[in-house]
Structure 1
Amino acid sequence: MPSFSLALVLLVYLVSPTSSCTEQEKSSLLQLLTGLSRDGGLTASWRHDTDCCTWEGITCNQDRKVTDLLLASRGLEGPISPFLGNLTGLLRLNLSRNSLSSGLPLELVSSSSILVLDVSFNRLTGGLGELPSSTPVRPLQVLNISSNLFTGRFPSTTWEAMKSLVVLNASSNRFTGQMPTKPCVSAPSFAVLELSFNQLSGNIPPGLSNCSALKLLGAGYNNLSGTLPYELFKVTSLEHLSLPNNRLEGALDGISKLTNLVTLDLGGNELNGSIPESIGDLKRLEELHLEHNSMSGELPTALSNCTNLVTIDLKANQFSGELTKVNFASLSNLKKLDLLSNNFTGTVPESIYSCSKLTALRLSYNPFHGQLSEEIGNLKSLSFLSLANNSLTNIRRTLQILSSSRSLTTLYLGFNFQHETMPEDVSIDSFKNLQVLYINHCSLSGKIPDWLSKLPNLGMLFMQGNKLTGPIPEWISSLHFLFSLDISNNSLTGEIPSALTEMPMLESESTAPKVFFELPVWNKNQFMEYLTPSAFPKELNLAMNNFTGMIPEEIGRLQGLFSLNLSSNRLSGEIPEQICNLTNLQMLDLSGNHLTGKIPAALNNLHFLSRFNISNNDLEGTIPNAGQFSTFPDSSFGGNPKLCGPMVANHCGSAVASSVSIDPIKQIGSEAIIFMTAFGVFFVVGVLYDQKVLARHFG
């Protein structure tokens, strides 16, 4: 036993470090800490009297040299110390996702040891420093400076020293000038150039043809122009080509040479022409994005050969012809198909319903015709379906067919079924997961159907632009997740029911369970695209109906509302003071009713209110001129002859615009007393004056 204990002690001694990190390295690290205005709690670990190899975020090698400094997402604020360049053994430096400011020290870019430098998602400013051409070769392989505030042009000579560079990510900054091509020349293994979301301009430089190992080229959301250069198609190593939202023009001729492409994203440009038949040579293609261009023609039959396709996005173009030329049955991996707003004709091809993995199908705004096929029930994973404005008929049968799609969460059926009747007895047992339902602008007659009350997860219901009659049903408050309701432009009657003021999601600021749209949804009212329903503003729109009675005081409970529109009805009475409790309100429209009384002064407390309209009522008194009210146009108050204030023609204090309510009989009596008093005063003054004048001339 004694000999065993001795051996154990010797073993521990042999494997234990004989020394700590050097004073120079410790001092360099502490320089970083000293310069920070917020250190994310590092002070407790980074103590001068301890070995820096034991500090939080620090890793050392066997020689007790710092090799890794990993402090991502630590809440750090302040500048990056240039003394970190003194860490001669440092291989990986990650300071991403903090709030670091000032510039990027050139000492880090020119380090003789750093392989990976990641300062992404900070607030770094200025330009990238230029290394002199005499700089010896540096080992840097990965440089990630994305999501900062860098400006200026890219350095030119710096890249000559970066012979080992593989990844350069400078996206989401404010760089200007042309795309850099020097890394392609200097670094034979250069594989990733990501420059999206900057302010780059000019043509795509032909020098990119020197990037013989390039796998990813991203430069979307810039100001690039011109055509895709032929030299680009020589970079056959490319797997991901992403240049969306620029001003690129021309046709796609030559794209088939990039046979290794997995992603092709050229959406949001000015491309024209058709998709070439040679697209079928891109056997590895998984993502095809050509949306928002000016492309035309029929889809090529060879598209069926791209059997690995997962996403096809061709929306907002001028494609035409019938879809039956493409055999979608061969696209067994297809999950998303977006053909919104084109000129496709004929019927929806049955082969689409063989894409069993399809989760999103958007065919809206195409001149298809006919009725929906029962084969759509084969799409068991379908979550998002948009068939708006496709000239569909037979709404009852359509709903019955779709009720078998148990995964549906989002359903757009608007601008179809013209002048049919809203079905009241639809079996919707399989719509349990439905969260968004559009049956708008169909000119449907009938009432708000009771089967809607059986959709427990419904969050958004849009039925505007129909001919629905009758009252709002009391069961509306049973839809516990409903937060956006638009039933405007119908012929609904009755008073605003108390049930509308008892909707749980509108009573609080809490949001619905977060789920994501399979395809982005455009909201024309907000001019925004949404990826999740819960991001939509909470809305109650009852405009352009025949509602009567008073605005219920209980409306003040709906403190989660962003938008309230009760315009163009027959509502009467005063504007309830309780509306002032809706402190999140950004839009309030009460115009075109028979409202009376004054404008509640407390409406000034609605600090987020940006759109306000009470025109064409019978309101009276002074218009509040403080807060938000000073920003609203005159048209917000027009058609109320008894209102006064600087926004309207009537000046406060005039008889017409008096803000005080006066009994007409008493008013006549008061005016008579005033007249008689004035007459008596003037009469006495006149007599005395005459006597004085007569005395002067005839005395």
Structure 2
Amino acid sequence: MMRLCHGHFLLVATVLSVFCGSAVSLSFQSNNVVDERSILLELYSATGGPSWNENQGWEDATPDGTDDYCEWTGVICTGEADLDTFQRRQLEEDDGDDDYYQDDGTSPAAGTTSSSSTAARESSSSNSKDPHRVMGLDLTQNFLQGRTPASLWKLPLLQYLNVNHNDKLQVDFSSVHDAPQLSIVKAQFTATASLAGLDHASLTLNVVHLSGCPLRSSFPAELLALTNLRDLQLSGCQLEGKLDGIQKLTNLRNLNLFDNQLRGPLPNEMIQMTRLQKFSCSRNQLTGDLHVVDALVDLDELYLAENQFQGRLPSLSAMPRLSRVFLNMNQLTGPVPPQFLLGITTWEPNFAETAGWIRVDISKNQLTGILPESLDILQDLSMDFNWQDNRWVNVSEALCDNEYWNRGAVMNFACDGLACPPGTYSVIGHASNSYACRTCDAAEFYGVSTCVQENDKAALIALYSETNGNNWINNTGWKLAHDWQGLYDTGDICEWYGVTCFQPGDTDDDSAGGRVRRIDLSGNNLVGVVPEDLFTMDYLDTLELSGNPELVVPLTKMDESSELRYLDISRTATVNFDGLEMASDWFAYLIADGLTLGGTLPKQVLNLTALKLLSMSECQLIGTVPEKLANLKQLNELYLFDNHLRGSIPDAIG
């Protein structure tokens, strides 16, 4: 009879209590301890437990042990906290997924209760007196690897699983339907690549964090079945395709899709997601306009930066709690709407002293017109505006005395604290205690953050065109500027791959800020002939083009490169050094290894009297080391190995 009670207890517990009498209660507790212990030990075995970072309790445990597994590392049992307290603690954690999804510690799911979580709480409460019921597992960053066993989900009261930051671990969701009270799953930055089975999870599931998992798929259909989800984080999951169906998740408060390859417009049906409070979809390839956003009236934080959105700036006028707006680096056009941000005037003054600054970033778009007087309705709020690098033609004087704006910059610098006027620039687009508005003849609009002369940009685009830029290994920034030149502002050349610009403070020359200082396109599959005008860039001091074997670098305009100090043309197809002898007295470093020169050391090199380093190894040079090399009085380093030179090094060179 005891065998029967053991085998069928869960199904016919009431009936068996009649036949087995008091043995039922003992069997329940004994068998439950063995079952949960076995499940935990199977997890330990399947995920490389002996190699875990912390495995206290687990390492010496046996299936028939009598120790309390609630004391094992990461095991949380029902006797430790009620569900509400535990959930609130976990939901208020800051996962710090990305720069555009900044949790301020106030999770919208915390403190709210759904019918499913109420049921889970009641079930948990009924068993809270049993000290051997696993409610949660927190094994974050613990070197778990392998695949979680299907039995994991058979822990009858499991509500919380956190295995974040175990990068060799795969979470198997195929049996997740066996976890009737599951509420929170966190498996961020694991090797989880499939969500198969997750669509059959309990309706109690309201938090899923999978950021950094290599899903490599369209938006997972399994998630669209989880209609009670409140918090979904999928940043950096290599998702692609459109967001079709996302409106099914109408209970979402937090949605984080940062840094994927999602494309297409925001679906019109998203207007149904009126409970959404944090929405992050920055750094994708989304297109279309932003009219849908204005319907999300509960938004606290909106992050849609670094996409390809077009059309007008949304008014965001019906969102009284809005505190973060990041729409920068899109293709938005037109003026600031007269109702822009009107809803947040319900904030109390001195908001900065209580909960931080209201941050609004609409920089690097194609917005036009003025910074309008209508914004003055926000004068008593602590606003931090980033609106640089648009096409502003004026700033309303009414805004220039708003002392709470831009962290005191407006109070200290008046209108300049809002936007540097034409003919000047600042790295942040406005004056502050750290950055002044510096002279820049090329700055046509208000709020310019870089001082880029058109000849710099033209020279770079010419380099791209003449060296088969479409087939470069990395052409970030270059391709967009080349393809769309003259049609719209394609952004800051200082952010293009391989380009480094002078920053304020790098030099005493105010006009150098934002000018190209260094180009490094080594090993980038440049093919063709470098345009000579590249050497006419006024502030270029370093040019590195090595490792492009089909690239020719003509040197005939070295005399126009007054600032060039360092040149590396190693392992290119360059064989003609004509013009090198005209380099300025500032030129000090020449690296030209691996060229198929043949012949003697190029005579042009012997005129570089300011040279400090010369490297021409593996160039098939013949003859002797010329006596005139001794004329290079500043030379500290000389590398000529792996050539066919003969004789001895002249004494004068020592």
Structure 2 counterparts to residues 6-155 of structure 1, below 5 A: 22=33, 29=40, 35-40=48-53, 42-43=55-56, 50-55=67-72, 57-61=74-78, 89-109=133-153, 111-126=155-170, 128-131=172-175, 135=177, 138-151=180-193, 153-155=194-196
1:647-670 per-position Cα deviation (integer Å, ceiling 9, x unaligned): 989955257xx633359xxxxxxx
1:191 maps to 230
Task: Name the counterpart of 1:240.
Answer: 278
Say if 1:239 and 1:263, in contact at 8 Å, map to a contact too: yes
Q: Please, which of 218, 222, 227 is the counterpart of residue 178 of structure 1?
A: 218
Q: Distance in 2 between matches of 1:209 and 1:417?
A: 49
Is the CA contact 1:21–1:53 (under 8 Å) kept in the aligned structure 2?
no
Do the aligned residues in 1 keep the contact of 2:562 with 2:584 (CA within 8 Å)? yes
Q: What amino acid does structure 2 have at the position aligned with 1:173?
A: C
Once residues 303 and 650 of structure 1 are traced to their aligned partners in structure 2, the CA distance between those partners, rounded to angstroms, is 68
Q: Match of 1:15?
A: none
Whether the 8 Å contact between 1:329 and 1:354 is mirrored in structure 2 is no
Provide the residue aligned with 1:319 in structure 2.
Answer: 367
Structure 1 167/21 Cα, relative in aligned 2: closer, same or farther at 3 Å? closer
Q: Would you say 1:414 and 2:438 are equivalent positions?
A: yes
* 1:390 equivalenced with 2:429 (yes/no): no
Question: Retained in 1: the 8 A contact 2:144–2:168?
Answer: yes
Q: Does 1:486 align with 2:488?
A: no
Offset at residue 568 of structure 1 (A): 6.1
2:199 aligns with one of 144, 159, 167: 159
Does the Cα contact within 8 Å between 1:170 and 1:194 map onto a contact in 2? yes
Counterpart position of 1:431 = none
Task: Tell whether the 8 Å contact from 2:247 to 2:273 is kept in structure 1 after alignment.
Answer: yes
Q: Is residue 335–residue 360 contact of structure 1 (8 Å, CA) maintained in 2?
A: no
Counterpart secondary structure, 2:216 = strand
Pair 1:377-2:425 in alignment: no
Counterpart residue number, 1:295:
332
Deviations 1:219-261 (A, max 9, x none): 1211111111111111111112211111111112232221111
**Distance in 2 of aligned mates of 1:378 and 1:234:** 44
Which structure carries more strand by proportion? 1
Name the SS for the 1:336 alignment partner. strand
1:116 and 1:487 map into 2 onto residues whose CA distance is 55
How far apart are the structure 2 equivalents of 1:569 and 1:487?
Answer: 13
> How do 1:574-585 residues align onto structure 2 when only pairs under 5 Å count?
none
Q: Distance in 1 between matches of 2:295 and 2:274?
A: 7
- Structure 1 residue 93, shift from structure 2 partner: 0.8
Q: How far off is 1:388 after superposition?
A: 5.5
Structure number with greater Rg is 1
Q: Larger deviation: 27-36 or 321-330?
A: 27-36
Q: Secondary structure at 2:271's aligned position in 1?
A: helix
Change (3 A) 1:110 1:145: farther
Summarize the alignment of residues 556-575 of structure 1 with structure 2, pairs less than 5 Å apart: none
CA distance in 2, matches of 1:293, 1:246: 11
Q: Structure 1 residues 144 and 45 mapped into 2: Cα distance closer, same or farther (>3 Å)?
A: closer
Residue of structure 1 in register with 2:268 after alignment:
230
Q: Structure 1 residues 360, 297: CA separation in 2 closer, same or farther (over 3 Å shift)?
A: farther
Question: Contact conserved, 1:387 with 1:414, CA < 8 A, in 2?
Answer: no
Offset at residue 128 of structure 1 (A): 4.4
What letter corresponds to residue 659 of structure 1 in structure 2?
Answer: I
Opposite residue 335 of structure 2, the aligned amino acid is E
Query: Quick one: distance in 1 between partners of 2:328 and 2:609?
Result: 46
Cα distance 1:265–1:615, how it changes in 2: closer, same or farther (>3 A)? farther
Long gaps (5+) in structure 2: 1-28, 94-130, 348-356, 443-448, 454-502, 520-536, 540-560, 566-582, 592-604, 620-628
**Aligned-residue offset at 1:522:** 10
Instruction: Report the alpha carbon displacement of residue 414 of structure 1 after superposing the two structures with TM.
Output: 3.0
2:312 is matched with 274
- Retained in 1: the 8 A contact 2:309–2:332? yes
8 Å CA contact 1:259–1:281 kept in 2: the answer is yes
SS in structure 2 opposite 1:345? strand
Equivalent in the alignment of 1:204:
243
- Partners in 1 of 2:516 and 2:612 — Cα distance? 34
Instruction: Assess, with a 3 A threshold, how the Cα gap between structure 1 residues 640 and 217 changes in structure 2: closer, same or farther.
Output: farther
* Rounded Cα–Cα distance in structure 2 between residues aligned with 1:654 and 1:215: 77
Greater RCO (Cα-Cα under 8 Å, separation 6 or more) = 2
1:175–1:649 distance in 2 versus 1, CA, 3 Å: same
Matches for 1:604-623 after TM superposition, within 5 Å: 616-617=608-609, 623=615
**Residue 198 of structure 1 aligns to which amino acid in structure 2?**
C
Secondary structure of the 1:327 match is: helix
- Give me the TM-score of the superposition, normalised by structure 1: 0.50
Give the counterpart letter for 1:154 in structure 2.
L
Deviation at 1:303, TM superposition (A): 1.2
Q: Specify whether residues 654 and 148 from structure 1 end up closer, same or farther in structure 2 by C-alpha distance, changes over 3 A only.
A: same
Q: Distance in 2 between matches of 1:43 and 1:160?
A: 33
**In structure 1, the residue corresponding to 2:144 is in which secondary structure?**
strand
Separation in 1, partners of 2:266, 2:639: 55
State the alpha-carbon separation in 2 of the partners of residues 615 and 131 from structure 1.
76
Give deviations 1:465-523, integer Å, cap 9, x for gaps: xxxxxxxxxxxxxxxxxx996227699xxxxxxxxxxxxxxxxxxxxxxxxxxxxx999
Q: CA deviation at 1:88?
A: 7.9
Decide whether aligned partners of structure 1 residues 440 and 190 sit closer, same or farther in structure 2, where only a CA change above 3 A counts.
Answer: closer
SS in structure 2 opposite 1:91?
strand
* Distance of aligned partners of 1:490 and 1:617 in 2 relative to their CA distance in 1, 3 Å threshold: farther
Q: CA-to-partner distance for each residue in 1:153-174, whole Å, 9 max, x for gaps? A: 532x432232111011111222
Distance 1:47 1:660, change over 3 A: same
CA contact 1:104–1:124 (8 Å) conserved in 2:
no
In the alignment, the residues of structure 1 paired with residue 615 and residue 418 of structure 2 have an alpha-carbon distance, to the nearest angstrom, of 45
1:618 deviation in Å? 5.6
Look up the SS of the partner of 1:358 in the other structure: helix
1:344 to 392, 395, 406: 392
Counterparts in 2 of 1:303 and 1:19: CA distance versus 1, 3 Å = same
- What is the TM-score of this pair, normalised by structure 2? 0.53
Match of 1:659 in 2: 649
Q: Which amino acid in structure 1 is aligned with residue 144 of structure 2?
A: L
Aligned residue for 1:143, secondary structure, equals: strand
Q: How does 1:397-436 map to 2 (within 5 A)?
A: 410-416=434-440
Give the secondary-structure state (helix, strand or coil) at the position aligned to 2:317. helix
Counterpart Cα distance in 1 of 2:419 and 2:310: 26
Find the aligned partners of 1:101 and 1:615 in 2 and give their Cα distance. Answer: 62
Offset of residue 295 of structure 1: 0.6
Residues 491-502 of structure 1 mapped to structure 2, 5 A cutoff: none
Q: Deviations over 1:324-361 (max 9, x none)?
A: 24323425334310011000112354425325153286
Supply the AA of the counterpart residue of 2:147. G
